[in-house]
Homo-oligomer: A and B are copies of this chain.
Amino acid sequence: MSIKYMCLLSVRSSCSSHGRVCASPVAQQRNNSTSPKIKVDFDQSTGVAVMQMQSPPVNSLSLDFLTEFSIATEKLEMDKSCRGLIITSSQPKVFSAGLDIMEMYMKSPEHCGEFWKAVQEMWLKLYGSNMVTIAAINGSSPAGGCLMSIACDYRIMADNPRYSIGLNETQLGIVAPFWFKDTMINTVGHRTTEMALELGMLYNPSEALKIGLVDQLVPEDQVVTTATQTMTKWLAIPDHARQITKSMMRKPTIDKLTSNRETDIQYFVNFITKDSIQKSLGMYLAMLKKRKG
């Protein structure tokens, strides 16, 4: 497998090209909170909602984004007429570039903790959803973007060799927490996870299909339509039987986090606020800035 160097984390002002996410950490106006980062189209006739991530430039998982995501997902979850959720990106070339680095660089422990809680919440909502969830991965999907994908029931990726997907945290000197790891093991098995996480591997679509990190490759313009067709197949199964089965498969993994959320937050905050880690993040940001410049 090839290992590519790609940003693990993104910043709001970053730009994306050719499968690389480059960014500049310069301050800029935050998106107005009235401009939604997520657009949801729910088709009452099919029971399927399509969620478009539309937070330029690269759908960074900022605190605002994650909060909006969890609220939107919760709303659909509560709506008994909504049985399926397709998640995709309206941004070119990227599904989601992962956790927003600006939420953990030079921030207070309190802010870091609040941010991490929102990351947990996103995963808990998605991995434990009663809806059928399909990731329509129409661009690169490193780190947090990969987590979001593997938390779904099914993954369809654009067959574009410039895109990549993987949990590449170690490349930046940080570590995927245990529940990222558990979700990965549940998807591709123990050995592949071990090597993928230790090396921070990013896989192109063919490689990702081969190891089972995604389930299907289609041409880029057919990702969402294929997701819609696949959804029909999943919705042919009686909801209650599928939901009980899904819960049986995923509950142990979910319980491990729900019974350790505070500890996990403390662990993250202690780790990320270390001088050495902050220095790493700073150097990384400088590198991104230079690359963009």
* Chain A residues within 8 Å of B, Cβ to Cβ: 3, 153-154, 169-176, 178, 181, 185-191, 193-195, 197-200, 212, 215, 233-234, 237-238, 240-242, 244-246, 248-250, 276, 280
Contacts and interface: CB of A to CB of B under 8 A. Distances in A.
A3 B199 CA distance: 34
- Chain A at the B interface: SS class: helix
A249 B170 contact: no
Nearest to A247: B175
Given A186-B190, A190-B249, A198 B3 contact: no
Contacts of A173: 238, 240-241
Copies in the complex: 3
Contact of A245 (B175, B238, B241): B175
Nearest to A171: B237
B245 A198 contact: yes
Nearest to A169: B241
Most B CB within 10 A of own CB, among A3, A189, A198, A234: A198
Given A154-B195, A191-B212, A195-B215, 11 more contacts: A169-B241, A169-B245, A170-B237, A170-B241, A170-B242, A172-B241, A178-B248, A181-B249, A189-B191, A199-B242, A238-B280
A245 B190 contact: no
Contact of A170 (B3, B172, B215, B245): B245
B175 A186 contact: no
Contacts of A240: 173, 276
